[in-house]
Amino acid sequence: MRKISRPKILILSVLACMLALFCSSCGWFAGEIKDKEVTDMDNEMRAQKYTTVFEKSLMDLGELLKAYYAPMTVVQSKNVGNVTAEKNLPSDIYVMIASSINKIGPQLVFVPYDAQYVVNESLTGGTITRLYPQIVIAGGITGFDKEMFEKEREMEASGGWAGAQGGVKIKAGGNYSQVTVDLNLLDYKTQSYFSGVLASNSIMLQQDKLGWGVYGYYMGNGGSFDYSLKRKQGVHSALRTLVEYSIIELMGKYFEVPYWRCIPGSNPDEEMTKKVRDNFLEKQKDQQHFMIKKMLFLHGFNGINRENPVFSGSEEGDLKEAMRRTSTSTLPDLYLALWSSVPVETASRRVMIDRRKMAKIETLKIAENTKAAAETAAAEEKKKKALEEELRRNVELFNSHIAKADQYYQKKQHKEALAEYSAARSLFGGEEYPAKMINTINGILAGQEAADEKYRALLQTADALYSEAEKASFNYSGYKKVLQAYETVLKIKPDDKNAADKIRAIKEKLSKYSNVLQKENGDNW
């Protein structure tokens, strides 16, 4: 038999030991792990739907907004970061805020804050129809107070669920710390904060050997929560809970709805209730009536005319009945009572029906406006064509008047030319040519008028001299003077037949007189 070397014997020994150890380990697992433990481990490794503390409350807030006839609103959030020096906290809670808003439902539309993405898409040729926000959430993780209680020290802490009175005994087997989140709301267009619309809430954390866990949280409206039974949740889960509650409070204050109704056992926000009452008192009487009528509608009163502030007819009876039901006697008390007790389910249904009705009316109105716009467009087109036809005719008529006027002007028929130029100018007053020719002709006619005036004066003088000469004994020098006067008249108006005839007659007389003087050398003929 061949001998086995010592190194090989050593290797085989090691392998044998490892095999024995492996087999004993398998036996230990098989012997120690029970079926229930395997099932629990298997269940824990399966994918599960994560449900947060205020998930249902967020959805209830959506129904509450619908019931109070809140308009659909586009929301955006800034990057809400960690402004403390604590590195164990998340650097940003933007995603938590986005998830919380989306849980509320269709009443709120969340628009991501990602300018770089929009720019990049536009550079690649993408077309984005942007939806701009109406309100923007801002804020941050503003506080992280460490080791608030001493180790292994017992103390009493008030607690409960959403403000329900109660207490819990704290036995601090580790360090207790408090995280605070502040959220505000601003107007997107003006970039100014809404006064009084804010949420500042804190959560208590415990750190033990296994890490951080949620102990309790204390909210800004006086609500305090005992959460010691779910200490497996860590800092991120605690912050999510804090963010969800803060979003409920923030949106409730913005839309002026009693948001605490979404949280079982919570106390009313007395500060907000006072603000709602004060806002009502600051309104004018007509506006107060509109607000009351809206609440009556949400409470199921039918036949309410929400477009008229005056209570008339059956509306007065509804107002008295509402006061009787709420045991109130003044409008501010009535409004506050109705506002804080709107029946969510029935009001939500009434709002849905009313919105459908209003949408139908709006659709009909749009159809009517579209029809009216089409009719107006058709009328405008018809008017446009008529104006174009009128313009065409006026252009033809203008050219005709100008052509006739030019012909008259060339023939020195100035008055006729002036009439044609004036007719052309009445069609297109802005044209320079007819205006220029009118001024020229007016100058010519003015000169002619002056000449005519001079002519008439000279003719009158000549006629007077002629008449005197005819009445008196024949005087050669007198007729000579008359002859000169008529010759002057004829120079001004060469076509004056009367002046020409008078000149011819006077010349004949003077010629006859000269002949007689030559024959008889006397004074008479």
Instruction: Fill in the amino acid letter for 114.
Output: D
Report the DSSP pairing between strands 154-158 and 167-171: antiparallel
Decide if 75 is inside a domain.
yes
Decide if 283 is inside a domain.
no
Domain containing 82 — which CATH number? 3.40.50
**449-457 contacts at long range (C-beta below 8 A, 24 or more positions apart):** 451/492, 451/493, 454/492, 455/489, 455/492, 455/493, 455/496
Q: For residue 461, give its domain range.
A: 450-520
pLDDT at 14 over 50: no
What confidence tier does 46 reach under pLDDT thresholds 50, 70, 90?
A: low
DSSP states along 450-506: HHHHHHHHHHHHHHHHHHHHHHSSP-HHHHHHHHHHHHHHHHH-TT-HHHHHHHHHH
Picking from 214, 249, 267, the residue at the C-terminal end of a domain is 267
- Considering only 173-187, 203-217, 360-374, 485-499, which range has the smallest mean pLDDT? 203-217
Decide if 500 is inside a domain.
yes
pLDDT at 462: 80
Task: Tell me the average pLDDT of the chain.
Answer: 79
Kindly report the backbone phi and psi dihedral angles of residue 431, in degrees, each rounded to the nearest multiple of 5, phi listed first.
-75, 135
Decide if 288 is inside a domain.
no
Rounded to whole angstroms, the Cα distance separating 112 from 257 reads 25
Decide if 293 is inside a domain.
no
pLDDT at 35: 56
Rounded to whole angstroms, the Cα distance separating 500 from 495 reads 8
Tokens for 65, please give them.
């907004």
Decide if 7 is inside a domain.
no
Kindly report the backbone phi and psi dihedral angles of residue 359, in degrees, each rounded to the nearest multiple of 5, phi listed first.
-65, -40
Picking from 236, 267, 298, the residue at the C-terminal end of a domain is 267
Query: How many domains does the chain divide into?
Result: 2
Q: Is 142 helix (H, G, I), strand (E, B) or coil?
A: strand
Which neighbouring-strand residues pair with 73? 108
Across residues 451-480, what is the average pLDDT? Answer: 78
Across residues 244-272, what is the average pLDDT? Answer: 93
* N-to-C CA span, the chain: 204
Please give the distance of CA 137 from its chain centroid, rounded to a whole number.
20
pLDDT at 32 over 80: no
* Structural contact between residues 217 and 249, judged by C-beta atoms closer than 8 angstroms: no
Decide if 467 is inside a domain.
yes
Helix axes 414-427, 344-410, angle to 10 degrees: 170
- pLDDT more than 90, % of the chain: 48
What confidence tier does 29 reach under pLDDT thresholds 50, 70, 90?
A: very low
Decide if 488 is inside a domain.
yes
- pLDDT more than 70, % of the chain: 76
Picking from 200, 232, 267, the residue at the C-terminal end of a domain is 267
- Considering only 264-268, 365-369, 373-377, 400-404, which range has the smallest mean pLDDT? 264-268
pLDDT at 39: 58
Rounded to whole angstroms, the Cα distance separating 156 from 146 reads 19
Rounded to whole angstroms, the Cα distance separating 521 from 470 reads 23
Quick one: DSSP state of residue 317?
H
Report the DSSP pairing between strands 193-208 and 211-218: antiparallel
CA angle 434, 388, 377 (to 5 degrees): 145
Digit-coded pLDDT (tens) for 99-153: 999 999 999 999 988 777 777 777 887 777 888 999 999 999 988 876 555 444 4
pLDDT at 162: 41
